[in-house]
Every structure is written in C-alpha cells, then in structure tokens.
C-alpha cells in the first residue's frame, strides 16, 4: 500500500486519483459519486494539488467527515479508508470501487470523473450510463462448468512477472489468492468471465464469442476477385486475450504493405498504417467489446484502401463518438486493469488521441469512428495526402518560433507549456499565437478545453 500511495502522489490527480487538501462534506460526496460512477479511484486527504501534505488532517476527523458525506450519496457508495506513514508524513486514503449501480447526490446531480475533475452529466448521458450500470457485472460472474485447471499456468506466470515489474516489488501471497483479489477466481476457486478471458487455456470453449475473425479482401468491397463472393485470406483466432492481441497484430502486420521513402538521403520503410494506430484499434476492440453479446466476434477487415476493426457492443456508459477523445469509461474494468498491468495498455484514456495524432503525422486521414447500438467500428484509411510543405512566413513572431521549437523537441505543446515558455506574456496573447499557427496550417489542434494540445501538421 505504501508503494502504491507513493506512486499516486508522483502521478498526481487524474481520473482515478483525487487530492483533497481541505475536505468538506459536499466536495467529498461529489468525488465519491464521481468515482463510483466511473472506474473507481483513491482519494488522498490532506494533500495539496501539488502533492504536498498539509499536516493538519486527522484520521478520526476524516472518518466522521466520510460518514456524513456518504449520507449525501444516493445510494450510499462503498468505501474503505485507512492511513499510511510515508516519508512526507501520515496520509489518509479512501478507496472507492467502481459500482454496478448508478449513484447521485441528494440534490439529484449525477457526476462522473473526467481527468482530475468531477463533471455533472445531462439527461441523455445519465440514461446511457444507467443502461450500462443496470447490466450485471458480467466480468465477475463464475463461468458454469469451468474449473481452476482450465486456466493456463504459464500465462498466469507471465502476467504475475509483468505486474511485479510494473509495481517494482514482488507480489505477496499465493497465486490463487492474487487471482481471487483481481476477480479472476471466485471464493471457491471457480474461474470468472474475466479470469477465463485473461488466463484460460481455451476461453472460446466456454465463451465462443470471445474470438477474433480476420478477413483480407482483394479490393475495396467485401467481395472476392472479379466481384465474386470470397476473400483473399481468412483466419479465426483464439486464446486468452494477451495471446489474442498478439495474434491479431501479427496477422494484420503480415498483410500490411510496406513502402519506402527517402529522408535526408536515407531510405526508410513505412508500413501501410502506423503501427501504434493499428495496435490501439485492436487492443481497444478486444478489451472493450461487450462480452455479453454471444454470436458475434471481433472482426478485422482489411481492404485495398482501408482497415476496419469492428467491436461487438455499442459505446459504453456515457461515451459517444463526439466525446470519445476527451472522456473515459471502461465497460470491462477488470480486463482493462489486467491488460494494463500486463503492459498492453500503457496509459489509461490516452490511446484515442494518440491514434489520431499518429495517423495525421504519417499523412493519413484521421481515424473514422462509427457507433451503432450493437457495434463500434474504427476505420483507418491508407491514402497518404500529398500536403504542400508549409511556408515559414517572415512575420512569424519570436514566441511562435519558440513554440515550434518546443514541438520539434517534445512532439506537442499545450497552453500550459506555452505559458511556461513565455511567462511574461498574457494567456490571451498566447492563445491567439497558437490559433494563428493553426490558421497558417502549421499546427493541428487536438482535443477540447483543458485536454487541448497542438501538434505539427
């Protein structure tokens, strides 16, 4: 726990961590509801937003405050609190698990955790979140007929090693104790849905919908040669999710064309699609699909002009195509947590915007997202645009040149970065500088509001 809390302090507030320097009943209740409605989280009490201990929060005061705050939550939120001695001092922490129920405050407000803020939801978003919450926690349900022997020991061992590396410490207790703690086994040792999907020898024997189908078509339509029914290659992939992701990546990579460009007299190979964008689309489809839907698997369709990755089940929670870059919600939090510890998901909630960035930086159109009530499709197009090289105009000011230099070094810039580079200039002037660079075609704006950043176009 001490190591985990230290890591939380280093990372700072985000969608699963909140710092409350001077907690009050209303603010605490809002954060409890926001975490319970999203992916859960940890509140560190008596910590400033910069990660410094205030030193004036007592555990007994937090306990009394928590009790009163829970009275403002409808229904009450499940919590667990404690304290830990860190080098900086004594830290009081409150853990909130993701809840299968929809929670609101006593005044009727429904909040969700977005980044480091608690954001209220409107009517349509509340109804969509409620529909997701009302379903049973399919991940934690025991799989009828499955036994502990159906789990693959070498896959479990690999996962445990990766998790220990990420946590930088060995995992205590038995393997089965740990599997039970992450929801992979029930108390009587029966594999759950998430346990079988992550570690099963043949998960598809019990969950046939959990496989992947890859199809390569010879043209731009789902037909074979000369317009007849058929395809160039078809493969059905099976196995636990980690193996499934690798198999999907390998076959897609094998079928991708590889071209070459000359950059500064050096020949560099360029695949048909940016590797990160493809891998992110595959990982998202396999991780976030609705595994309750039987009869349909994840589909990878490769055409002459595009790659389509289709995931069964609509977008989860309150996520829509319009807010998919800025918002985060996990339909399958145990699978997400498992694959995150494994290293397949590097940083939660940041994959979509980087996918867009990778496609644009390689000269492709941005990914296309299409959602229906029962499926979600990501389309990557392989047509590279021949863009004219932007002219560096003589009237570009020194601040803008410093912004571009920053991006050449770090790949992106935010308004906050720009203010640190030019601390004596007003925020409005800097905002106009960046808007001017966007207008000139030098920069591309990604995201919205506090999540906005800029990349070289």
Q: What's the rounded mean pLDDT across residues 6-24?
A: 87
Confidence of residue 127 (pLDDT cuts 50, 70, 90): confident
pLDDT at 323: 78
d(CA 245, CA 335): 13
pLDDT at 115: 80
Quick one: tokens of 130? 């409620």
Strand-by-strand arrangement of the 41-45 sheet = 17-20, 41-45, 89-96, 80-86
d(CA 240, CA 155): 8
Q: What is the mean pLDDT of the chain?
A: 86
pLDDT at 39: 86
Confidence of residue 58 (pLDDT cuts 50, 70, 90): confident
| DSSP code of residue 388 | P
Place of tokens 């954001």: 119
Q: What domains can you pick out in the chain, each with its CATH number? A: 2-121 (3.30.950.30), 140-206 (no CATH), 208-381 (3.30.565.60), 398-456 (1.10.10.10)
pLDDT at 352: 85
What is the chain's percent helix, strand, coil content, to nearest 5?
Answer: 40, 20, 40
pLDDT at 26: 94
d(CA 57, CA 36): 24
The answer to whether residue 350 scores a pLDDT higher than 90 is: no
Place of tokens 């001092």: 89
Instruction: Give the model confidence (pLDDT) of 299-332 as tens digits.
Output: 999 999 999 999 998 888 888 887 787 777 888 8
Helix (H, G, I), strand (E, B) or coil at 366: coil
Phi, psi angle pair for 85, to nearest 5° = -90, 115
Indicate left, alpha or beta for 349 from its phi (over 0: left) and psi (-120 to 50: alpha).
Answer: left
The answer to whether residue 57 scores a pLDDT higher than 90 is: no
Q: What's the rounded mean pLDDT across residues 70-76?
A: 94
The answer to whether residue 400 scores a pLDDT higher than 50 is: yes
> What percentage of the chain has pLDDT greater than the value 70?
90
The answer to whether residue 401 scores a pLDDT higher than 80 is: no
pLDDT at 142: 95
**43, exposed or middle or buried, with CB in 10 Å at 0-12, 13-18, 19+?**
buried
Helix (H, G, I), strand (E, B) or coil at 230: coil
CA distance to 2, 108, 318, per residue, from 100 (Å): 28, 18, 14
Taking every pair of Cα atoms in the chain, the longest distance, rounded to a whole number of angstroms, is 76
Contacts of residue 77, defined as CB under 8 A and 6 or more positions apart, other chains included, come to 32, 33, 35, 36, 70, 96, 99, 103
Helix (H) or strand (E) holding 258: strand 258-263
Quick one: tokens of 20? 């409350």
């Amino acid at each position: 726990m001490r190591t985990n809390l230290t890591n939380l302090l280093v990372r700072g507030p985000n969608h699963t961590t909140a710092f409350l320097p001077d907690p009050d009943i209303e603010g605490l209740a809002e954060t409890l509801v926001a975490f319970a409605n999203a992916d859960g989280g940890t509140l560190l009490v008596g910590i400033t937003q910069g990660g410094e201990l205030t030193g004036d929060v007592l555990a007994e005061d937090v306990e009394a405050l928590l009790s009163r705050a829970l009275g403002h939550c409808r229904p009450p939120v499940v919590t667990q609190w404690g304290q830990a001695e860190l080098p900086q001092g004594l830290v009081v922490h409150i853990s909130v698990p993701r809840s299968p129920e929809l929670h609101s405050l006593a005044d009727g407000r429904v909040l969700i955790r977005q980044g480091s803020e608690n954001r209220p939801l409107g009517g349509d978003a509340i109804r969509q979140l409620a529909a997701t919450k009302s379903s049973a926690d399919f991940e934690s349900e025991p799989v009828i007929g499955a036994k502990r022997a159906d789990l693959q020991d070498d896959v479990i061992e690999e996962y445990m090693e990766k998790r220990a590396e990420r946590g930088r410490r060995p995992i205590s207790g038995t393997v089965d104790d740990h599997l039970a703690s992450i929801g992979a086994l029930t108390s009587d040792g029966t594999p759950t849905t998430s346990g079988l999907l992550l570690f099963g020898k043949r998960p598809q024997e019990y969950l046939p919908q959990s496989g992947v189908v890859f199809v390569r078509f010879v043209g731009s339509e789902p037909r074979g040669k000369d317009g007849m029914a058929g395809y160039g290659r078809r493969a059905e992939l099976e196995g636990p999710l980690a193996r499934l992701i690798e198999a999907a990546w390998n076959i897609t990579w094998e079928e991708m064309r590889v071209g070459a460009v000359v950059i500064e007299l050096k020949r560099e190979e360029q695949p048909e699609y940016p590797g990160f964008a493809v891998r992110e689309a595959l990982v998202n489809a396999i991780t976030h699909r609705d595994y309750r839907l039987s009869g349909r698997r994840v589909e990878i369709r490769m055409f002459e002009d595009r790659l389509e990755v289709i995931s069964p089940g609509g977008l989860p929670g309150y996520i829509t195509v319009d807010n998919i870059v800025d918002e985060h919600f996990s339909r399958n939090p145990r699978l997400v947590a498992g694959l995150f510890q494994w290293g397949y998901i590097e940083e939660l909630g940041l994959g979509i915007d980087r996918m867009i960035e990778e496609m644009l930086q390689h000269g492709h159109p941005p990914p296309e997202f299409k959602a229906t009530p029962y499926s979600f499709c990501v389309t990557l197009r392989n047509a590279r645009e021949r863009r004219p090289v932007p002219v560096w105009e003589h009237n570009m000011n020194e601040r803008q040149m410093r912004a571009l230099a920053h991006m050449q070094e770090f790949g992106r810039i935010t308004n906050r970065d720009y203010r640190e580079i030019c601390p004596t200039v007003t925020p409005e002037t800097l905002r106009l500088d960046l808007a001017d660079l966007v207008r000139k075609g030098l920069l591309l704006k990604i995201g919205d509001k506090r999540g906005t950043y800029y990349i070289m176009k």
